[in-house]
Structure 1
Amino acid sequence: MPRKRAFSPAHAGPAHDAPLSELNITPLIDVMLVLLVMMILTLPTVLHKVAVDLPQGSAPPGETVTHPLVLARDGVVTLDGVAVNDAAMPARFRALKADPAALLVMRTDPEARYDRFDQVLAEVKRAGITRLGFAGNEAMVE
């Protein structure tokens, strides 16, 4: 019967006695790649900015004329209680822009589609109206 030889470090040879001179950096590279991908995915949301022109003062309450702009659930827009179609909207907004005492207050139904809200708000911006307020957020206050 042949005798089995037990493993001992003495029989391992000089290559196994030397300290490890190379570091396995593959796990480090994997972690760095995961972090890089996470940064690439999150940076666009962090850098997304919306320019908002905030008011620089307050006008005396007697000098403003409030014009309610209501966006209904079905997308119908009313200005001062009168329905306004998309074609007539720019002319009505330009008339408000010409009045320095006009204050446009926008109230949107919570069930209205966001793309319709965005279209109406874009028309307000194209008309150059800077005196704009939003109403209807009272339900969000605790």
Structure 2
Amino acid sequence: MAMAAGGKEEGEPMMDMNMTPLIDVLLVLLIMFILTIPIQTHAVKLDLPQNSNTNTPPPIDPVKNKIIVTPTNQILWNGSPISLGILKQYLDQTQVMNPIPELHLQPDPQARYELVDQVLAVTKKAEVEKMGFVGNEAYATF
């Protein structure tokens, strides 16, 4: 006394489509689509000078300004603490000088990346041309 579900006779072929392979193919296509999406990066585009053997290095300018980003979230301009707004004003003043002084940026290895990124954004907005990173030996791994 077995009860047949749906009123179908026993032994009759099933006429429903098997959805499992279709779902598997769709999942594989979805994963492939996700992998082909480009990774979004948030970076500050800053044109730095390129080393080339044909160009001779410019003469060393006697006026150099140094920005230090400390681990205590301070920005130092030639040793004096300043804010991002004052940094923008200083950079704007240096860009109208003749000759344009060099700018040395020295972030501490323990400094917050967000603050260093904000300093780089300010230098880009001020269109600083002569800029270099100093103290990179602190990041070297031996």
Q: Distance in 1 between matches of 2:84 and 2:74?
A: 10
For 1:102, the equivalent position in structure 2 comes to 101
Identify which range, 26-35 or 128-137, moves more after superposition: 26-35
| Preserved contact between residue 67 and residue 106 of structure 2 (Cα < 8 Å) | yes
Q: Distance in 2 between matches of 1:87 and 1:38?
A: 41
Q: Rg bigger for which structure?
A: 1
Gaps of 5+ in 1: 1-23
For 1:67, the equivalent position in structure 2 comes to 65
Q: Distance in 2 between matches of 1:95 and 1:87?
A: 13
Give 1:28 shift.
4.3
Provide TM-score, normalisation by structure 1.
0.65
Aligned residue among 36, 48, 57 for 1:54: 48
RMSD: 2.8
Map Cα deviations across residues 66-86 of structure 1 (whole Å, 9 max, x no partner): 211111111111111222223
Gaps of 5+ in 2: 1-19
Q: Which amino acid aligns with 1:108?
A: P
- Could you say which structure has the higher helix fraction? 1
| Preserved contact between residue 64 and residue 101 of structure 1 (Cα < 8 Å) | no
Give 1:118 shift.
1.6
| Preserved contact between residue 84 and residue 122 of structure 2 (Cα < 8 Å) | no
Provide TM-score, normalisation by structure 2.
0.65
For 1:44, the equivalent position in structure 2 comes to 39
| Preserved contact between residue 73 and residue 111 of structure 2 (Cα < 8 Å) | yes
Identity over the aligned pairs, expressed in percent?
28
